Amino acid sequence: MVMPTRFLRVAMAGAMLLPASGHAWADQPNQTTPAPASLWQRDALFGSWGGLKSWLAGNGVTLGATEQAVPSNVLGGGARQGNAFSGLLTLSTRADLARYTGISGLTAYVSAWVAQGHGPTAYTVHSLSGLAYVEAPDGARLADAYLSWRAPHDAIHVKLGKFGIDENFDQNPAAATLLDSNFTYRDIMANNLPGGGPAYSYEGPGAMLAVQATKPLRLRIGLFGGDPLGRPLEGPPPPARDAGGLAFPLDVGALAIAEADYAYRLPDFGKGKFLIGGLYDTLARPDLLVSASGRSLARSDPAPARQDRGEYVLYAGDTQTIWHGTGKRRLRGFARIAYAPPAQNLISLDAQAGVVLDAPFTARPGDSAAFAVAYEKISARKVSFVRAQNRLAGTPAPIPSGETDIELDYNAALAPWLTATPDLQYIVHPGGGIADPNDPPRREPNAVLVQLQLTIAF
């Protein structure tokens, strides 16, 4: 198998982070390698890679390689039923630069993604949410590449380079095992923002500053390029603008985001965290209903869409421990809501709620079970467009309303390097109520699918 050229370039970029040394690792005759742990006890499938990882760690470099494989089957509904597969290999290098620069808390991080196959989202269900969050255009691309500096006790944290808002803002740790991407990076951002916003699977150039203002209060601000894919080009679909993830577009507007989270504790319950934030993108977005001449886009000979500025998202969320048992057993709940202006956005409201039971069985303290529901409301502007189109063209297309995603999963820690997550999802009104390609006057049927995510740390 020949590795893609772009992937080789990414791998070489990661290798550049390895520290210079007077002797190569292979030239260390006295290098001792600890006795390997048994297969089911080791942290990684291949252990310390013959001592290489241990030696690099002693020199401030941490290597990572993780595969997430997700076979799935649409059992009913959707546009069609059948099997699918999506996978994601993540390769990473983290270097502790403090020992080489003398700047305490300074690190560098580079990672690459190798996406494989395709999942059920775009091909069979046509849902607003990514039904397996590892789904992405297949191929190799640069993921993150940034410098990070942390003051003692994380009083200040600065990041500069290429990274995503999904891993730094609007965090939802209680939903970490859920596969539906909406619980990790909200659909109201992924579907509305230019280029999907700086997030998986196309991060963007940016900077972030986080300050622990008081013990319970943390403030964060970030500034990113307005479109992680760069300027639109004629012809290829948007992902082809930066297929290798090597672009750092800085001339496509700006996306600013700010957030505050507050940690608290409720008597008789436990720890909780409330967050509130918002983002604003300076790039204009095409109106969903009105043309540049002020006429309806539903007409048969419309002018180009009017360009609307004022692209923003306001969001809030809360995670609360509801019950504590013995050991690691606990029940947590979360609730999240977000709003975006309806004129230029497909989704105007995103609401979610769920519960997570950690250590459901005393004999399996590393397992968890989760149940969650999300609702994405189709904007009134989009609804008006479809109604006008039906009226003017005499078509009976279904009127969209919103999509509801219901998910149940179990996360089983089989070994330190292996977890298995069987997952069941039920999607009500895929795409918000789009036409069934097999019977256009009717909505696409509700979909039910099962998935199994295997996470393997090499």
pLDDT tens digits for range 343-360: 999 999 999 999 999 999
The reported pLDDT for the residue numbered 442 is: 92
Q: pTM value?
A: 0.87
The reported pLDDT for the residue numbered 186 is: 95
pLDDT (average), residues 312-332: 94
The reported pLDDT for the residue numbered 396 is: 87
Q: Is 138 inside any structural domain? A: yes
The reported pLDDT for the residue numbered 292 is: 86
Q: Is 432 inside any structural domain? A: yes
Q: What is the pLDDT of residues 156-190, one digit of tens each?
A: 999 999 999 999 999 999 999 999 999 999 999 99
Query: Is the pLDDT confidence value at 233 over 70?
Result: no
The reported pLDDT for the residue numbered 247 is: 82
The reported pLDDT for the residue numbered 22 is: 34
d(CA 79, CA 90): 31
Burial of 16 (C-beta count, 10 Å sphere; 0-12/13-18/19+): exposed
pLDDT (average), residues 243-256: 87
Q: Which helix (H) or strand (E) holds 385?
A: helix 380-393
Per the model's pLDDT, the better-predicted residue between 90 and 310 turns out to be 90
Which CATH number covers residue 109?
2.40.160.180
Q: Is 3 inside any structural domain? A: no
Q: What is the pLDDT of residues 84-127, one digit of tens each?
A: 999 999 999 999 999 999 999 999 999 999 999 999 998 899 99
Inter-CA distances, 19 with 63, 97, 99, 142, 185, Å: 13, 9, 10, 21, 34
The mean pLDDT value of the chain amounts to 88
Q: Is 398 inside any structural domain? A: yes
Query: Is the pLDDT confidence value at 269 over 50?
Result: yes
Query: Is the pLDDT confidence value at 221 over 60?
Result: yes
Confidence of residue 2 (pLDDT cuts 50, 70, 90): very low
Task: Give me the residue label for tokens 């965090």.
Answer: 171
One-character DSSP codes across 351-364: EEEEEEEESSBTTB
Q: Assess whether the previous peptide bond of 92 is cis (omega < 30° from 0).
A: no
d(CA 259, CA 149): 19
The reported pLDDT for the residue numbered 240 is: 60
Query: Is the pLDDT confidence value at 19 over 60?
Result: no
Q: Is 90 inside any structural domain? A: yes
Inter-CA distances, 101 with 78, 93, 95, Å: 55, 18, 12
Which among 431, 442, 456, 344 has a CA at the least distance from the CA of 120?
431
Q: Which domain holds residue 103?
A: 41-457
Confidence of residue 27 (pLDDT cuts 50, 70, 90): very low
Name the DSSP class of 169.
S
| Percent of the chain residues past pLDDT 90, beyond the cut | 71
Neighbouring CB atoms inside 10 A of 231's CB total: 10
pLDDT (average), residues 398-419: 96
d(CA 204, CA 230): 9
Lowest mean pLDDT among 71-75, 85-89, 385-389, 405-409: 385-389
Query: Is the pLDDT confidence value at 262 over 90?
Result: yes
Q: What is the pLDDT of residues 35-70, one digit of tens each?
A: 567 888 888 999 888 889 989 999 999 999 999 999
The reported pLDDT for the residue numbered 239 is: 54
Q: Is 10 inside any structural domain? A: no
The reported pLDDT for the residue numbered 238 is: 54
The reported pLDDT for the residue numbered 21 is: 35
Query: Is the pLDDT confidence value at 252 over 50?
Result: yes
Decide: helix, strand or coil at residue 134: coil
Residue 20 tokens read as 């210079």
Q: In total, how many domains does the chain have? A: 1
The reported pLDDT for the residue numbered 295 is: 87
| Percent of the chain residues past pLDDT 70, beyond the cut | 89
Residue 269 tokens read as 């319950």
Per the model's pLDDT, the better-predicted residue between 247 and 107 turns out to be 107
One-character DSSP codes across 48-114: TTTTHHHHHHHTTEEEEEEEEEEEEEEEE-SS--EEEEEEEEEEEEEEETHHHH--TTEEEEEEEEE
Per the model's pLDDT, the better-predicted residue between 139 and 13 turns out to be 139
Q: Is 136 inside any structural domain? A: yes
Q: Is 18 inside any structural domain? A: no
Per the model's pLDDT, the better-predicted residue between 300 and 184 turns out to be 184
Cα 58–chain centre separation = 32
The reported pLDDT for the residue numbered 232 is: 63
Give the CB-side neighbour count of residue 152, counting CA atoms within 13 A: 0
Q: Assess whether the previous peptide bond of 86 is cis (omega < 30° from 0).
A: no
d(CA 313, CA 376): 14
Query: Is the pLDDT confidence value at 34 over 60?
Result: no
pLDDT (average), residues 304-329: 92
Query: Is the pLDDT confidence value at 1 over 70?
Result: no
The reported pLDDT for the residue numbered 171 is: 92
The reported pLDDT for the residue numbered 299 is: 83
Decide: helix, strand or coil at residue 384: helix
